[in-house]
Amino acid sequence: MMAGEMRKSALMAVDEINSSDAYDFAFAPRLRDPGGVVAGYHTACAELIREEQVDHIVGCYTSASRKQVIPIVERTDRLLWHPARYEGFESSDNVIYVGAAPNQHVVPLVKHMLDHISGDVFCIGSNYIWTWEMNRVIREIVTSAGGRVLAERLLELGETAVDHIVKEVIDRKPPAVFNTLVGESSYAFMRALHTAATRAGLTVPMLSCSLCEPELKLIGPAASVGCVTSSAYFESIAGAENGAFVGRWKARHGADSNPSVDGQSTYVCVMLLARAIRRAGSVEIAAVRRAAANHRYDSPQGPVWVDPDNNHCFLTPRLALSVPGSQFEIFWQADAPVRPDPYLSNLDLTAIGRHAEKSNEEMTKRSHHLRVVK
């Protein structure tokens, strides 16, 4: 589903640029759809470069597909504009990372959890790199703050048999569930957990750093409500830029259609590219990269610009609660766009630990018999 959302958004941005007087050039999109088959990304990208003479490539949702494409764009010196949030620990000169880095998605969410929900957490995710690295970050922050990872449960990608994990969650009643499942597994889990929790008369707080509006709709009106979600973009962001963007989106895709963080981010990729080409007066890679650096764009998600130190973007982390109507209610956002830290080298665990001390004390009172004191 995300690939379709991203393509729709990219083409919307291309049409806007091609019909705008502000740009004296037009984009001629060349589309390829490897359909999520990882090996297909290498071939598709090589074809785009060799046969279509493409200089700039926008796309790749999963890390597995991006890692297929990077060796080619590095060897042929092209630029990949990557829209999706990812787990970090990468910094290629031939990639502009427009999605959130880990300090912009998972770190604020774990901090919020420690301060306001629980020091202990039950982790469930998909058996691949995104979850593995998210779980490592969660464990590092949570344990340094004196909390515990109660469990790490993994499902194979696409697996929808979730009953055993739902049963475990209902039996153990964890104070928080961190959901890093992707796609159908996540939807199945949220539906099944909602049904089981309702039957048991339980409320299980859930956290996610990937849920988006179109997914809420897929999950369903009841099960999709109440998930604390971290993202750089929500449809409900206030402000003229986003209001106009949502209006154009609905005019183009239908009133009951919703933009998503990854779609919006793909739109931002194309806009950042167009603005950099205009500024550089060239499509040449080095010139475009230089022109994109520190060049602020007031996007639907707010001000965004490329940090030339690591080719990731300054952007504004936000936390929201999923509410009825397949929407998010934003309850926190960073005061200003946050510098990307793809290697989490500025993550100060002692500061987070101290920060969480007070709430941990409160939690200690609540579950004293469970606490391990180190």
Residues that bind another protein (CB under 8 A): 70, 74, 89-93, 309-310, 342-343, 345-346
Q: Of 70 and 182, which CB lies nearer to another protein in the complex structure?
A: 70
Q: Which amino acid is at 163?
A: D
Q: Cβ of residue 132: shortest distance to another protein, in angstroms?
A: 14
Beta bridge partners of 91: none
Q: Cβ of residue 311: shortest distance to another protein, in angstroms?
A: 9
Q: Of 129 and 323, which CB lies nearer to another protein in the complex structure?
A: 129
- H runs (alpha helix) in the chain: 2-18, 38-50, 63-75, 106-116, 129-144, 163-172, 183-200, 213-219, 240-253, 261-280, 285-292, 349-366
Q: Cβ of residue 73: shortest distance to another protein, in angstroms?
A: 11
Q: Of 162 and 338, which CB lies nearer to another protein in the complex structure?
A: 338
Q: Of 16 and 90, which CB lies nearer to another protein in the complex structure?
A: 90
Q: Cβ of residue 340: shortest distance to another protein, in angstroms?
A: 10
Q: Of 224 and 310, which CB lies nearer to another protein in the complex structure?
A: 310
Q: Cβ of residue 238: shortest distance to another protein, in angstroms?
A: 34
Q: Of 75 and 172, which CB lies nearer to another protein in the complex structure?
A: 75
Residues 6+ apart with CB under 8 A from 352: 110, 111, 114, 141, 144, 145
Q: What CA–CA distances, in Å, run from 141 to 75, 84, 90? A: 37, 23, 21
| Nearest partner of 310 among 141, 94, 135, 165, judged by Cα | 94
Q: Of 141 and 216, which CB lies nearer to another protein in the complex structure?
A: 141
**Which pair of structure tokens corresponds to residue 35?**
């359909």
Contact status, residue 111 vs residue 140, Cβ threshold 8 Å: no
Q: Cβ of residue 29: shortest distance to another protein, in angstroms?
A: 28
| Nearest partner of 344 among 105, 98, 31, judged by Cα | 105
Q: Cβ of residue 344: shortest distance to another protein, in angstroms?
A: 9
Residue 348: strand, helix, or coil? coil
Q: Which amino acid is at 167?
A: K
Long-range CB contact pairs, 218-224, < 8 A, 24+: 218/1, 218/187, 219/186, 219/187, 219/190, 219/191, 220/191, 221/324, 221/326, 222/194, 223/190, 223/191, 223/193, 223/194, 223/195, 224/190, 224/322, 224/326
Tokens 């609905």 sit at which residue? Answer: 250
CA distance 45 to 70: 10
Q: Cβ of residue 103: shortest distance to another protein, in angstroms?
A: 13
Q: Of 49 and 207, which CB lies nearer to another protein in the complex structure?
A: 49
Beta bridge partners of 79: 56
